[in-house]
A = this chain, B = another copy of it.
Amino acid sequence: MSSPASAPPLWLRDNCPCPDCRDPRNGQKLFQITELPAGLAVDRVHEARTADGAPGREVVWAPDGHRSVYAESWLEAHLSVTRAAPGDGRTEDDKELWDATGIADRFPEAGWSAYASDPAVTAAALDSVMRLGFVLLRGVPVRDRQVLDVARTFGFVRETNYGELFEVRVEADPNNLAFTGARITPHTDNPYRDPVPTLQLLHCLTNAARGGDSGLVDGFHAAALLRAEDPEAYEVLTRVPVPFAFADGRTELRAHRPLIGTDPAGRIREIRFNNRSIGTLQQPAEVLDAFYAAYRRFGELLLRSELQLEFRLSPGDCLIFDNTRLLHARTAFAESGDRHLQGAYADIDGLASTLAVLRRKATSA
């Protein structure tokens, strides 16, 4: 094991676990980085015990004489790190990418009563959303506004201009193609919103129309395929901001974001794809040419049958999916037939928190 003396001093001190440095009630730091003395250095290191009796090392700091006791186990885990730690579960690195064949055998689903009563089933379902991007709950009560109760099992509803929930059925004067019987190709929702809602729920109340089947595509997988097959097109789509827009009588939203959002390390983190709401790109002609060629190529890739998971929602089914990763679609349906879903948006950080707390309880049980 490396010695604390060789660790970056500001980093080590910033992680001092003593109750003067860190609130024992919530782990929040009680000092600012700017309050640490100039020339901070490890003066001496002794063997010591932590507050709860575990073996550790005490660092005496120069120039201020502050003392920090670090557990051996913490030092072993955190010193001599040679590569960056895993992320927060949101990029391609922390996902299981899938295609239609690969997912069919492990289609993530759970029955509502088990989901609602058994924390292990809840945790497995939420874990599917984090890993695979979705879960299908079966046997959810066919009840008006039930979709909001489903969202509240793991997080908080994100209210938008569509309301707390939105009705997906044929409307007389629709403000959105979703509210007609038309076919809708794979897309993400609300790309004109920033922050975009990171989760979507769709709860099926009636599905007696011919057609109206559902489809899902793993956008991270599709983007990774594009990167492998046409790195230049991929690069263009991570770089060119696309002006997404939506307007009706009460609303005028726009967001300028690339179709493929990456983190600073270049990992795929967020897909936005929705031809309906792409406004007019204003860029030099050579950028427009490169963007449109890449956009079309990505669009064609997303339509490959091996990427499209197709299934039919039955009354009582509630689909929960990651709107920053998965694209959803539906086949056309007869407008005379009865088809009615209720949808809602929520955020995945709250879902991840609920999952983490469930795991904490499972570990301590």
A26 within 8 A of B: yes
Residues of B within 8 A of A83 (CB): 284
- A85 close to B243 (CB less than 8 A): yes
Residues of B within 8 A of A158 (CB): 156, 158
A238 within 8 A of B: yes
- B349 close to A283 (CB less than 8 A): no
A230 within 8 A of B: no
* A229-251 vs B, Cβ < 8 Å mask (1 yes, 0 no): 00000000011110101111011
- B15 close to A280 (CB less than 8 A): yes
Give the docked Cα–Cα distance between A265 and B182 (Å).
Answer: 37
Give the docked Cα–Cα distance between A347 and B353 (Å).
Answer: 21
A255 within 8 A of B: yes
Residues of B within 8 A of A239 (CB): 264-265
From residue A179, how far is it (CB to closest CB) to chain B in Å? Answer: 10
* A276-301 vs B, Cβ < 8 Å mask (1 yes, 0 no): 11101111110111011101100110
- B255 close to A174 (CB less than 8 A): no
Which of B157, B292, B303, B347 makes the CB contact (< 8 A) with A195? B347
Binds B, one of A28-36, A44-52, A136-144: A28-36
A8 within 8 A of B: yes
Given A78-B282, A252-B360, is A176 in contact with B276 using a C-beta cutoff of 8 Å? no
- A356 close to B252 (CB less than 8 A): yes
- B185 close to A27 (CB less than 8 A): no
Given A81-B283, A156-B160, A254-B88, is A14 in contact with B278 using a C-beta cutoff of 8 Å? yes
Given A256-B87, A280-B15, is A34 in contact with B156 using a C-beta cutoff of 8 Å? no
- A264 close to B258 (CB less than 8 A): yes
Given A28-B277, A29-B275, is A285 in contact with B353 using a C-beta cutoff of 8 Å? no
Residues of B within 8 A of A278 (CB): 14, 29
A357 within 8 A of B: yes
Give the docked Cα–Cα distance between A157 and B164 (Å).
Answer: 11
27 contacts between A and B (CB under 8 A): A8-B289, A8-B292, A14-B278, A15-B280, A27-B246, A29-B275, A30-B182, A32-B185, A32-B275, A33-B295, A33-B299, A81-B282, A82-B284, A83-B284, A84-B287, A85-B283, A158-B158, A160-B350, A193-B349, A195-B195, A195-B198, A195-B349, A238-B264, A252-B353, A252-B357, A253-B352, A255-B349
Name 8 extra pairs, CB < 8 A, besides A34-B299, A156-B160.
A8-B292, A33-B299, A81-B284, A83-B284, A85-B243, A90-B194, A195-B347, A252-B353
By Cβ-Cβ distance, the 7 closest A-B pairs, closest first, are: A195-B195, A85-B282, A10-B292, A252-B356, A8-B288, A156-B159, A88-B256
